[in-house]
Amino acid sequence: MSDAFVRQGELTDIQSYPAWAQDMVESCTEVRTRVAAHPLFHKMRDGELDASQLSTFLVGVWPVIEQFPQYMAQSLLKVQYGRSRGHDEARRYLIRNIRVEQNHADHWLQWALASGVSRDDLLHGEVPPETHALSHWCWHTCERDSLAAGMAATNYAIEGVTGDWSALVCASDVYENGFATDVRAKAMKWLKLHAKYDDTHPWEALEIICAVMGSNPTQRGVALIRSRVVTSYEYMRLTLDHCLEAEQVVSRPMPLVELVYEERKRA
């Protein structure tokens, strides 16, 4: 009997997926909730984040936003057309969504500008190591792990929980109304796009992961997928913890080093 997975039910119904995937998702619920319901997002929703906390968040998470298309490109390198249905679906998904992620970077920039973070601070600011770790992890898993594991860590875990916390922030109009009317739409676009109740990207990623893994993968294979999902959630939580504890704006441009070697050489 073939263990190939072909979804029969609704895309967004977890019962449509293999038992191993259902168990994996259920076992990750607690750690996912710690991210989705993090106190930082409650404070953001209620307009209670101070400038230091918000600046640290916007600058600290920016590397992940800016590099997300590159994580997907790393996954795309592992796809072999015609190898399996899962690989073919991954190819279509990754190519299509890389362009979407570029637009998301533009929207994040507008959010930062409306929040008092300059373009120079966002693009060239010193990113705290505590928040930079998340982007390093995403790059590592997409470069070194299997196609399914890398997509589980990024396209499923990170995109999925981002939809959760974005919906929490947008559940009230307090934060939105804190922006001036002339910039409000641009400032909120990133959040509102990710808070859409019908966002299917993480579900599509889960379907691809299941298609690649099959209905009866090895225990070791399932353990790898779960560990990548949990690790992504944990790095996100560490990032949020640091941002909430921020006491001063960290988004200062890195100092330029004066090049004096040639002058010394001539002397």
9 Cβ neighbours under 8 A, 6+ residues apart: 15, 16
Contact 225, 147 (CB under 8 A): no
Say what the pLDDT of residue 236 is.
98
In this prediction, what percent of the chain has a pLDDT beyond 90? 80
pLDDT digits (tens, 9 = 90+) for 58-108: 999 999 999 999 999 999 999 988 888 989 999 999 999 998 888 999 999
d(CA 211, CA 148): 9
Q: Rg of the chain's alpha carbons, rounded to an integer? A: 20
Q: Report angle CA 204, 208, 212 to the nearest 5 degrees.
A: 170
Q: Rounded to two decimals, what is the model's pTM?
A: 0.89
Say what the pLDDT of residue 251 is.
42
Say what the pLDDT of residue 266 is.
54
Say what the pLDDT of residue 101 is.
85
pLDDT digits (tens, 9 = 90+) for 123-146: 998 898 999 999 999 999 999 999
- Outline where 28-127 has alpha helix (H): 29-36, 39-45, 51-76, 85-114, 119-124
Tens-level pLDDT at each residue, the chain (267 residues)? 348 898 999 999 999 999 999 999 999 999 999 999 999 999 999 999 999 999 999 999 999 999 999 999 999 999 988 888 989 999 999 999 998 888 999 999 999 999 999 999 999 988 989 999 999 999 999 999 999 999 999 999 999 999 999 999 999 999 999 999 999 999 999 999 999 856 799 999 999 999 999 999 999 999 999 999 999 999 999 999 999 998 544 444 445 555 454 445 555
69 Cβ neighbours under 8 A, 6+ residues apart: 98, 99, 101, 102, 105
